[in-house]
A and B are shown apart, each in its own frame.
Chain A
Amino acid sequence: MMKRNMIERIANCYSAFLLTGTLLLSFTAKGQTTTLEASMQRGKTIYVQRCVACHQPDGGGVPHMNPPLDGASAVKGKDKFRLIQVIVKGMTDRVEIDGEFYSNNMAPHADLTDQQVADVLTYIRNNWSNKAGAVTPAEVKAARAKLK
């Protein structure tokens, strides 16, 4: 009896765990998709307002003047801190980007909120041929704390 009880309890517990896990998994999966899509939508609005003039609608940039974002190793890469830094602090250094030099200065966009920086980065990292994953407001917040 006791043995049966125990087995039942374990089974119940297990199924409850399974159920919770499944729920949790599906919620997370659904949540992530929704979050990414919504973030990209918001990011696109910011891109059109602030970025498209120089980086162009196809993210291809302007040769020798404004660097491309589509296919750019830094945009697709793991160093999110550097990307956040470029958005927040701008860029005026002469640096080589994927074998090319670009002449125009990029203004800082320090007035964007953590959410907006995350959204526009999520957009450029997952639009065109890029598939590099999201940037979260928490990551932006942490990076900004270091940038001050």
Chain B
Amino acid sequence: MYKSIFLFLLVACVACDSTAGDTLQHRKSITVLPDSNNAGLKLPNGFSALKVAENMGRARHIAVNQQGDIYVKLERKLNGNGIMYLRDLNKDGRTEEVNGFGNYTGTGIAIHKGYLYASSDEEVFRYKLNDKGEVENREAPEKIITGLINRRQHASKSITLDNNGNIYVNIGAFSNSCQEKDRQTGSMGMNPCPILDSAGGVWQFKANVLNQTYANGVRYATGLRNVVGLDWNTQTNKLFVTQHGRDQLNNLFPQYYDDKANAELPAETMYEINPGDNAGWPYAYFDNQQNKLILAPEYGGDGKKVPTTSFKVPDMAFPAHMAPNALLFYTGNQFPARYKNGAFIAFHGSWNRFPLPQEGFYVAFIPFENGKPTGKWEVFANGFSGVEVVNNLRAVAHRPCGLAQGPDGSLYVSDDNKGSIFRIMYQGNQ
């Protein structure tokens, strides 16, 4: 039975491939059948989904080459490897061949102009890709950046590239709010915050120069606590980032914030970044209820006072603690026109909203026009957690972490909890 379905699909696939012209390019994906339950996801009308692979470990960020094969960066080694290369040999959309390489763990991975870039929590490497989209010299990458700070907290180094030869690296702050004593009740903030010299921002380096250190890089933007999601908007040539806001306002300053206030504050934020921008961490945070920047309690704030210094205001604010772990501008043609050039954001899901239920665990979408959001954010793909209400993190099945666009315009989502890779397709009428 399965064999005959497989044969039918193979024939259908080959037939489609041989007859499809350029105008039907996006229809090619129709030969890839979604899972009958859309891999457990809830999607807008006309969209469907399948699980490309499972049990790929701590699958952080992902990159898809022109052949539709997937590179997965792992936070912990799987079978001794830090990068997985997933190949779909029979073009059914599912992985048949898994190869591993890379003797380091981390989060960042990207394909750009014939190279695969990947980061550990201290360094960034690149590998030349051949015309099949394969890494030929797996054990000898070029080390382009080294010596980045890693002090456990917010250690992941997310990366993206522009079209002008630069790579952007997030260096997360190794602290919650730059308190003299991290996460201790009432401990005040260090002023100025010394962490900002080497972290709490995005650094720009050259994409093709070896062994760069802090001395060779430019602090492109600062006051960003931990940017896990970042992407280059090729329409306007601007860097966009999504920041994880600070935790534990209620535990650390109970005189100003109760449990409910902590559950809703501060906003998770998205910014369009210009060189030299300062988003305010740790001195201020964005309050999405008062809709303004508020002075952090570590620096004399009381939940109402505003900072006297001017900081960047976010271009989009989200509910607190949802952890935007990936940002992707959609440039494909498969999805309906309103998605073109818009932003997808993978929310890893919160842990710091008790006694309220935890939030996030979905992929959101923001419509864009000419590089600016034109509407509010909306939930695009939900159901990753596998439970209606998340009251305990242990109950969560999948946590969205990485996003990538396939050559046919499909959207790929990685899950770093169970190591599943999802593929979302549009098969409705345009």
Give the B-binding residues of A (Cβ under 8 A). Answer: 50, 52-54, 56-58, 60-66, 68, 90, 92, 94, 103-108
Whether the pair B184, A108 counts as a contact (CB closer than 8 A) is yes
Q: Find the A residue at minimum CB distance from B394.
A: A60
Whether the pair A61, B393 counts as a contact (CB closer than 8 A) is yes
- In the complex where A68-B394, A107-B185 touch, is A53 in contact with B354 (Cβ < 8 A)? yes
B290 on interface, CB distance cutoff 8 Å:
no
Q: Find the A residue at minimum CB distance from B154.
A: A103
Contact of B351 among A50, A62, A108 (CB under 8 A): A62
CA distance A58 to B155 in the complex (A): 27
Contact of B183 among A61, A68, A107 (CB under 8 A): A107
B392 on interface, CB distance cutoff 8 Å:
yes
Query: Which A residues touch B352, using CB under 8 A?
Result: 53-54
Q: A56-B393, A107-B181 are in contact. List 20 more A-B contacts (CB 8 A).
A: A50-B251, A53-B250, A53-B354, A54-B352, A56-B354, A56-B394, A60-B392, A60-B393, A61-B394, A63-B393, A63-B399, A64-B58, A65-B351, A92-B182, A103-B153, A104-B153, A105-B183, A107-B183, A107-B184, A107-B185
Across chains A and B, which 8 residue pairs bring their CB atoms closest together, nearest first?
A: A60-B394, A58-B392, A62-B351, A107-B184, A107-B183, A103-B152, A62-B393, A105-B182
- Total chain B interface residues with beta-carbon distance under 8 A: 25
CA distance A58 to B181 in the complex (A): 28
Contact of A53 among B75, B153, B185, B251 (CB under 8 A): B251
Query: Which B residues touch A105, using CB under 8 A?
Result: 152-153, 182-183
CA distance A13 to B248 in the complex (A): 63
Query: Which A residues touch B354, using CB under 8 A?
Result: 52-53, 56-57
Could you tell me the distance in whole angstroms from the C-beta of A134 to the nearest C-beta in chain B?
Answer: 25
B417 on interface, CB distance cutoff 8 Å:
yes
Mask for B367-394, Cβ within 8 A of A = 1, else 0?
A: 0000000000000000000000001111
- In the complex where A66-B351, A94-B152 touch, is A57 in contact with B391 (Cβ < 8 A)? yes
CA distance A94 to B174 in the complex (A): 13
Query: What is the predominant secondary structure among interface residues of chain A facing chain B?
Result: loop
Query: Which B residues touch A64, using CB under 8 A?
Result: 58, 75
CA distance A105 to B154 in the complex (A): 11
Could you tell me the distance in whole angstroms from the C-beta of B375 to the nearest C-beta in chain A?
Answer: 32
Could you tell me the distance in whole angstroms from the C-beta of B198 to the nearest C-beta in chain A?
Answer: 18
Give the A-binding residues of B (Cβ under 8 A). Answer: 58, 75, 152-155, 181-185, 247-248, 250-251, 351-352, 354, 391-395, 399, 417
- In the complex where A63-B417, A94-B152, A105-B182 touch, is A54 in contact with B394 (Cβ < 8 A)? no
Could you tell me the distance in whole angstroms from the C-beta of B361 to the nearest C-beta in chain A?
Answer: 13
CA distance A118 to B75 in the complex (A): 36
CA distance A41 to B271 in the complex (A): 46
Contact of B182 among A50, A53, A107 (CB under 8 A): A107
Q: Find the A residue at minimum CB distance from B399.
A: A63
Query: Which A residues touch B185, using CB under 8 A?
Result: 107
Most chain B CB inside 10 Å of its own CB: which residue of A52, A53, A61, A63? A53
Whether the pair A104, B183 counts as a contact (CB closer than 8 A) is yes
Could you tell me the distance in whole angstroms from the C-beta of A109 to the nearest C-beta in chain B?
Answer: 9
Q: List 11 A-B contacts (CB under 8 A).
A: A53-B247, A53-B351, A56-B351, A56-B354, A62-B393, A63-B417, A68-B394, A94-B152, A103-B154, A105-B153, A107-B182
Contact of B392 among A50, A56, A90, A108 (CB under 8 A): A56
